[in-house]
Structure 1
Amino acid sequence: MADKNQHQSQNKKTIPPYMKAISGSLGGVVEASCLQPIDVIKTRLQLDRSGHYKGIAHCGSTIVRNEGVRALWKGLTPFATHLTLKYALRMGSNAVLQSAFKDSETGKLSPQGRLLSGFGAGVLEALVIVTPFEVVKIRLQQQRGLKPDLLKYKGPVHCARTIIHEEGLRGLWAGAAPTVMRNGTNQAAMFTAKNAFDVILWNKQEGDGKVLQPWQSMISGFLAGTAGPVCTGPFDVVKTRLMAQSRSGGELKYKGMFHAISTIYAEEGLLALWKGLLPRLMRIPPGQAIMWAVADQVIGFYEKAYIHNAPL
């Protein structure tokens, strides 16, 4: 009876959202530093309408040859900042939403509640953080050349100021609609799949005090991060095209999300809507593996120190 009461007391204690936010932000810093070159290549491929790049390897070697190795880390500052803030908001808001969707009597979260929590977290991060940071990142990444004085955008702050000056504040939210659809769907799938793989592969339940080894977290995170890019490829391509076009250059080629999808399909074919899929698969699943390896260790430490070993 005493053991049962102790177990119930521990189950009432939950990991606070701010700890989830901290764990996600730390994972985001590590992920951004490791995987920025893949993101640069993905962006260049998605913006390539003339077939200038023959593939991932050719794109990467061309960038290095023409612009130097450092060009593979173009946009790192906004990318790392955006990942840190995005993961903090994603993990924190998902924890808050999961608490709201849990059964008040049993404390259990249904599969539908987990999906809705993930989707809500994805929508929130897309509107608050992802869209403006990715607009700046993509504008910086699409610039070609070696001499800074010949580039339109001199850095992330200058880029943001220029966009606001030329296009208004709304310019930083170009491509918001496909970003919301992409991120909402991605996070609904990712949180649900990560929990499922933890249970299936490692018999790890949320809040049970068991800390996965980093390699176990990486496997679960990698698998959870694979489905989203395939399902949301068209949204990602459209997002990139909408973000890359400047409102200061006259008439816009793409009028919105649905117009962009139909235009790309008509001009470039169906497969063009999945341009950059392979580099996305090279970046997102490994990125999720890295992020969860860090986040699970932080959360596991908190569970052991402040929940399961806390005085009752």
Structure 2
Amino acid sequence: MERLGVLLVASCQENQESPELRRRRRWARLFDQLDLNKDGRIDLRELRVGLAKRGVSRSSVDKVVLAGDTNQDGELDFEEFSRYLHTHEKQLRLLFSNLDRNHDGEIDAAEIQHSLRSIGLDVSRQEAERILNSMDRDGTMTIDWAEWRDHFLFNPLHNMEDVARYWRHTMILDTGEQLRIPEELSDQSRSSVWRQLASGGLAGAVSRTSTAPLDRLKVFLQVHGSFPGTSSVGNSFQSMVREGGLGSLWRGNGINVLKMAPETAIKFTVYEQIKGLLGGSDASGHLKLQERFIAGSLAGAIAQTAIYPLEVLKTRLTLRATGQFSGVADCVSQLLRREGVWAFYRGYVPNLLAIAPAAGIDLAVYESLKNSWISRNSASGPPGVLVLVSCGALSSTCGQLASYPLALVKTRMQAQAAEGGGPRPSMTALFHSILAQEGVAGLYRGLSPNLLKVIPAVSISYVVYEYMRKVVGAGVPR
């Protein structure tokens, strides 16, 4: 086999080999490591197994095979493998040269900062050093060509935007309860941001629609303890379908999806304005954790104030019986006629009070989990998709747990008129009533379906977001 010949010739002439021969010897050894069954070919399974140990994602492995498999047999022989690495190393060398501004053969943190800023992505010195540390194998706080080449050898990068996307993953994962704004998103240019918000908006719409039955069950449990006429949670879905057909499981979902666009746009715009006022804690304008908490909480409060009438409509439409409203306009008309304009802000105070603990805990837990992973896996590069999705799901769950009693009281206040006239208790009166009649557990009614929807919501949101991001070209600034 040719690769064995390369190894033999190389070992005999080790002291007088040319750079090209040394390179082919390195490729041959690498090929031999990846060729698990030693049949002279590397298939997709072998490549995935071998490169998973190097922290290469499945999607990157698939792209390597797609680019290198010239005869399209689903495998790479040594020549195809060598041709792919030869082409890819040329691209990596060009990227390395562009980053190496002073042409000393090494890349330092300042050069990383400058290169990312040149494409509109502003990073702090600390973040640049963290990126550098993920590739620096000899502890010199610089990256030479060999370190750069080996780190990106099986990552199909073609330009600086691809490198930036690899270094800084940004995802908008919508669970229906999200208040945290990714710091990476707020660092990007506006054109890229709005492409990502559009991708995230569609992902959130699909995610919320897919989990809407669980959301409707949650609302019923918060207000009634179970679906009216049932004595257990188990047959609530069946009772909903009996009462209004299969489509009744999605009541209120239209408004829930509709309110996403203005809420997200207002929240992000306000966040950017507050971030500008705070000025950031370092020379690059980045916010400290506590500053991001303040900015995120204020942005969430203002966005919620603006779209809160839609929240009330969503609750009323979710709880409505068949034939109660002919549509959204009829629901608005009946609320105005029977209860006045203030009906659209019922439950506003507990909703506002829930924002700070939910956003703060979500942010703090997310940062803690992500930074803990980075500190323990500093040699593995930036956290991958599974890590970020897991951090986001866990932090969102913790934020919801902390604010859930306030969310429950908010929903009950929004639904008060739907339960029939009479005096409407205040927020504190409702808390006392729930504790007296149902105990502490009463403040967490509906929590189970709410938590059950987190994992499917995040998963669906991520899959759709990634697909749409590619369609609209929403990665990093271009």
Bucket of the pairwise TM-score, normalised by the shorter protein: 0.7 to 0.9
Amino acid at match of 2:331: C
CA distance in 2, matches of 1:105, 1:88: 27
Distance 1:31-1:89 versus aligned 2 partners, 3 A rule: farther
Using the aligned pairs only, state the percent identity.
23
Equivalent residue, structure 2, for 1:252: 423
Match of 2:293 among 111, 115, 137: 115
Is the deviation greater in 268-277 or in 22-31? 22-31
Distance 1:55-1:85 versus aligned 2 partners, 3 A rule: farther
Equivalent residue, structure 2, for 1:144: 321
RMSD (Å), alpha carbons: 3.3
Match of 2:311 among 125, 128, 134: 134
CA distance in 2, matches of 1:251, 1:6: 68
Asked whether the 8 Å contact 2:389–2:458 carries over to 1, the reply is: yes
Q: Does 1:74 align with 2:282?
A: no
Q: State the Cα deviation string for residues 22-71 of structure 1 (Å, max 9, x = none).
A: 35423321222211111110111112158844444321122123322111
Q: State the Cα deviation string for residues 168-212 of structure 1 (Å, max 9, x = none).
A: 222111110111122333223323433444444468xxxxx9795
CA distance in 1, matches of 2:334, 2:477: 48
CA distance in 2, matches of 1:104, 1:75: 44
Equivalent residue, structure 2, for 1:175: 347
Q: State the Cα deviation string for residues 142-168 of structure 1 (Å, max 9, x = none).
A: 1234xx3xx2x2222221222122222
Q: Does 1:15 align with 2:169?
A: no
Amino acid at match of 2:352: V
Partner SS for 2:260:
helix
Equivalent residue, structure 1, for 2:401: 230
Match of 1:242 among 407, 413, 435: 413
CA distance in 1, matches of 2:203, 2:364: 19
Distance 1:188-1:55 versus aligned 2 partners, 3 A rule: farther
Asked whether the 8 Å contact 2:360–2:399 carries over to 1, the reply is: no
**TM-score calculated relative to the size of structure 2:** 0.54
Distance 1:32-1:49 versus aligned 2 partners, 3 A rule: closer
Equivalent residue, structure 2, for 1:310: none
Match of 2:392 among 221, 230, 243: 221
Larger relative contact order (Cα-Cα within 8 Å, sequence gap ≥ 6)? 1
More helix per residue: 1
Asked whether the 8 Å contact 1:245–1:252 carries over to 2, the reply is: no
Equivalent residue, structure 1, for 2:210: 34
Equivalent residues in 2 for 1:88-107, closer than 5 Å: 88-101=265-278, 102-107=280-285
Q: State the Cα deviation string for residues 248-288 of structure 1 (Å, max 9, x = none).
A: 9643232x221211122223222111111111112345434
CA distance in 2, matches of 1:21, 1:304: 12
CA distance in 2, matches of 1:100, 1:211: 31
Partner SS for 1:226:
helix
Amino acid at match of 1:107: G
Q: Does 1:265 align with 2:454?
A: no
Asked whether the 8 Å contact 2:313–2:332 carries over to 1, the reply is: yes
Partner SS for 1:109:
coil
Partner SS for 1:253:
coil
Asked whether the 8 Å contact 2:217–2:449 carries over to 1, the reply is: yes
CA distance in 2, matches of 1:170, 1:248: 17
Q: State the Cα deviation string for residues 119-152 of structure 1 (Å, max 9, x = none).
A: 22321232112x212211111221234xx3xx2x
Which is greater in Rg?
2
Aligned residues, how many? 293
